[in-house]
Chain A
Amino acid sequence: MNQIIDIRGLHKTYHRGGERIAVLDDIDLSVKDGGYLALMGPSGSGKTTLLNMIGGLDVPTKGSVNVCGVNIAELKGRALASWRAQNIGFVFQFYNLMDVLSAQRNVELPLLLTKLSKKERQKRALTALDIVGLANRAKHKPSELSGGQLQRVAIARALVADQRILVCDEPTGDLDRASANQILELMEILNTSHNKTIIMVTHDPEAARHAHECLHLDKGRLRAEADA
């Protein structure tokens, strides 16, 4: 299987009040196409920063971040935004849905960046909602949905443009156990049946157990599960 993510010598440093803070320190990481990786670690260990690097939301201080065959460290502005739209689906802990839009319209958002017709966009959004089991809630606004349903809508939005990688930041962090399990089962289906590569940051060992591989970050450095 091909490597869909290949990170080499990644450093990320912030400067705060004259102080230099190394958030990620010489990270090497490879994920195969169709892989399912869980990233764990204490708060401030750099998990979300690494996730942001993979998702093209943040740029490294040093090193290369090859995702879907592109060194995104070299992409900027519009090209980076366009790359993100085509390749990455984001799932956030607090869903980040637009309150003013229905579930279907929230899912349609990434398709506004494509050349698809309005009818085709609607059709795809409904299909994505069907995949996550929420076709019957298409017209509901976020305020009318439960936490688990909101996360399903967010997942539908993350896969509607057929993105290859789902980048999930604590996707079950705001859910009760039952809802969290449903979301984790859904993600597993997306991984196995729809061949989505999933990178998930989590504090939840139960969630991490669904992944094929679990890596721990501590003080900006990666350690394999066995070392953790």
Chain B
Amino acid sequence: MSYFGFLFANLGRKKVRTWLTFLSIVVCFLLFGLLRTVGGMFSGPVSLAGADRLVVSPKYSMVTDPLPVSHTNALRALAGVDGAAHADWFGGNYLDFGLAFPTIPVKPREYFNVYSEFRIAEDELETFENTRTGAVASRGTAERFGWQIGDTIPIVGNIYPKEDGSLLWEFELVGLYDRPNSTAGNFEDFYIHYDYFDEARQHSKGMVGWIMVKVENPDEAALLASEIDALFANSGNPTRTMTENEYNAQFAKQLGDIGMVVNMILTAVFFSILLLVANTMIQSFRERLGDLGVLKALGFSDGRVARMVLYESLVLNVGGAAVGIGLSYALLIGVEPMLANFGAVELTSANLIAGLTIAALLGLLVGAIPAIRAASLPIVDVLRARG
């Protein structure tokens, strides 16, 4: 028998209780692995590029109050506007990957003029303009799914059915674009032709989700935003305009809030598990007072007995954490396609280290009280009580 063999034998004293405690810790760290990864996706870096662009969105809701496409021309007519391009949220699922990437209906030339930092070959852009069922994808998205130019990309819509009621939309990949300093991971837009989309969809014809406005002078962006909102204030479709930076920052803040909620849930779960494990450890310790006294009589020093109690707690907690985090990793691989649109799904080494460190601290914390008490046990009293 080794020292650790003795330790495991002690853990097996009340097998059901030990397993239940172990499973509690596994579940706790399974949640940890899942929530940290998902929370990390919501609080990951968001591109703040585009200080020279304004986002004109519906004042109240993109879903219930979309903007008329005619707003785009009105915006172009404003002084200080260098270009305007509308866009919409198509939604839709790609094969079994779910919402694998955002599909955005755009007017090709207008949109790429506004997003002038996006690089696309002129002939591919021209083909996109002239192919009503055409689409362009980022090079990263194409590589991810093994697409080649000329491939047909089937997308099942979940917001917009076609006029004939069909939800299956098919697009021909006619070009690939590159975006500089991409930080969106898998979350890169797939652009389809607005004219085809608008003509073929069953409802909301002539409406768009938002309009991007390129400003001539970024220093006057805030002023221009006020002018735009004033322009449409009394229309049936009022707007809310902000710089792309503000828009992204607001988006990032909302995502950051989700991260905060995730952390709060984690904290609550940990606190509950801490109490549960501490209670179990103390109960187990009380039942073994006699045995610990005998060990001390046999020559086990106070420190050794305390370490033994502490190791048991550590083995239980770190072992449970390792299994829990491992399971979360396996689960994340399973759900990756469903979450891919929010960014790269991966259990980072930082999360793994954080999880195991927390487990070790948890183990030390819940084992500390029994360990200290074990060290200070008066042998004679314990043996007398044992008989």
- The interface of chain A, by Cβ under 8 A from chain B, is 48, 52, 55, 57-58, 77-78, 81-82, 84-86, 88, 90, 92-94, 96, 98-101, 104-105, 108-110, 112-113, 118, 121-122, 157
Query: Are the C-beta atoms of A85 and B298 separated by less than 8 Å?
Result: yes
- Chain B min CB distance to A128 (Å): 14
Q: How far is the CA of A168 from the CA of B309 in the complex (A)?
A: 28
**Interface Cβ pair total, 8 Å cutoff:** 76
Residue of B nearest to A154 (CB): B294
Q: How far is the CA of A121 from the CA of B3 in the complex (A)?
A: 12
Residue of A78, A81, A101, A121 contacting most chain B CB atoms (<10 Å) = A81
- State which of A48, A81, A84, A92 has its C-beta within 8 Å of the C-beta of B302: A81
Residue of B13, B295, B297, B300 contacting most chain A CB atoms (<10 Å) = B297
Query: Are the C-beta atoms of B1 and A108 separated by less than 8 Å?
Result: yes
Q: How far is the CA of A101 from the CA of B383 in the complex (A)?
A: 19
Task: Name B253-311 residues within 8 Å CB distance of A.
Answer: 290-291, 294-304
- Chain B min CB distance to A127 (Å): 15
Q: How far is the CA of A78 from the CA of B5 in the complex (A)?
A: 23
Cβ of B358 under 8 Å from chain A? no
- State which of A85, A90, A118 has its C-beta within 8 Å of the C-beta of B1: A118
Residue of B nearest to A169 (CB): B383
Cβ of B379 under 8 Å from chain A? yes
- B1 contact set on A, CB distance < 8 A: 101, 104-105, 108, 112, 118, 121-122
- A121 contact set on B, CB distance < 8 A: 1
* With A81-B299, A81-B302, A109-B295: A58-B380 Cβ-Cβ less than 8 Å: yes
- State which of B9, B10, B379 has its C-beta within 8 Å of the C-beta of A57: B379
Query: Are the C-beta atoms of A112 and B380 separated by less than 8 Å?
Result: no
Q: SS class of chain B's interface: helix, strand, loop or mixed?
A: helix
Residue of B nearest to A89 (CB): B298
Residue of B nearest to A114 (CB): B299
Query: Are the C-beta atoms of A57 and B6 separated by less than 8 Å?
Result: no
Query: Are the C-beta atoms of B299 and A113 separated by less than 8 Å?
Result: yes
Q: How far is the CA of A33 from the CA of B380 in the complex (A)?
A: 26
Residue of A nearest to B5 (CB): A105
- Chain B min CB distance to A13 (Å): 14
Q: How far is the CA of A58 from the CA of B290 in the complex (A)?
A: 16
Q: How far is the CA of A81 from the CA of B301 in the complex (A)?
A: 5
* With A94-B387, A100-B10, A105-B1: A81-B300 Cβ-Cβ less than 8 Å: yes
Cβ of B2 under 8 Å from chain A? yes
Residue of B nearest to A58 (CB): B380
Residue of A nearest to B15 (CB): A100
Q: How far is the CA of A92 from the CA of B301 in the complex (A)?
A: 20
Query: Are the C-beta atoms of A57 and B380 separated by less than 8 Å?
Result: yes
Query: Are the C-beta atoms of B297 and A100 separated by less than 8 Å?
Result: no
Cβ of B185 under 8 Å from chain A? no
* With A98-B291, A121-B1: A57-B383 Cβ-Cβ less than 8 Å: yes
Residue of A nearest to B9 (CB): A100
* With A57-B380, A99-B13, A105-B9: A94-B291 Cβ-Cβ less than 8 Å: no
- State which of A90, A92, A113, A157 has its C-beta within 8 Å of the C-beta of B300: A113
- A86 contact set on B, CB distance < 8 A: 299
Query: Are the C-beta atoms of B387 and A93 separated by less than 8 Å?
Result: yes
- State which of A78, A104, A112 has its C-beta within 8 Å of the C-beta of B6: A112
- State which of A55, A99, A105, A118 has its C-beta within 8 Å of the C-beta of B297: A55
In the complex, besides A78-B301, A96-B297, 17 extra interface pairs with C-beta distance below 8 angstroms are A48-B384, A55-B297, A57-B297, A57-B379, A58-B379, A58-B380, A77-B301, A78-B303, A81-B302, A82-B299, A82-B301, A98-B9, A98-B291, A98-B294, A100-B13, A101-B6, A110-B298
Query: Are the C-beta atoms of A84 and B383 separated by less than 8 Å?
Result: no
Residue of A nearest to B14 (CB): A100
Query: Are the C-beta atoms of A94 and B386 separated by less than 8 Å?
Result: yes
Task: Name B1-37 residues within 8 Å CB distance of A.
Answer: 1-3, 5-6, 9-10, 12-13
A-B contact pairs, 12 of them (CB 8 A): A57-B383, A81-B299, A81-B304, A84-B299, A90-B297, A96-B383, A98-B9, A98-B291, A101-B1, A105-B9, A113-B300, A113-B304
3 smallest A-B Cβ distances: which pairs? A85-B299, A81-B301, A78-B301
- State which of B9, B302, B380 has its C-beta within 8 Å of the C-beta of A101: B9
Query: Are the C-beta atoms of A84 and B9 separated by less than 8 Å?
Result: no
- B386 contact set on A, CB distance < 8 A: 94, 96
Query: Are the C-beta atoms of A118 and B2 separated by less than 8 Å?
Result: yes
Q: How far is the CA of A179 from the CA of B5 in the complex (A)?
A: 32
- Chain A min CB distance to B375 (Å): 10
- B291 contact set on A, CB distance < 8 A: 98
* With A52-B380, A84-B298: A96-B290 Cβ-Cβ less than 8 Å: yes
- A88 contact set on B, CB distance < 8 A: 299
Query: Are the C-beta atoms of B6 and A109 separated by less than 8 Å?
Result: yes
- Chain B min CB distance to A96 (Å): 4
Q: How far is the CA of A210 from the CA of B187 in the complex (A)?
A: 88
- Chain B min CB distance to A65 (Å): 15
- A82 contact set on B, CB distance < 8 A: 299, 301
- Chain A min CB distance to B305 (Å): 9
Residue of A nearest to B290 (CB): A96
Q: How far is the CA of A85 from the CA of B290 in the complex (A)?
A: 18
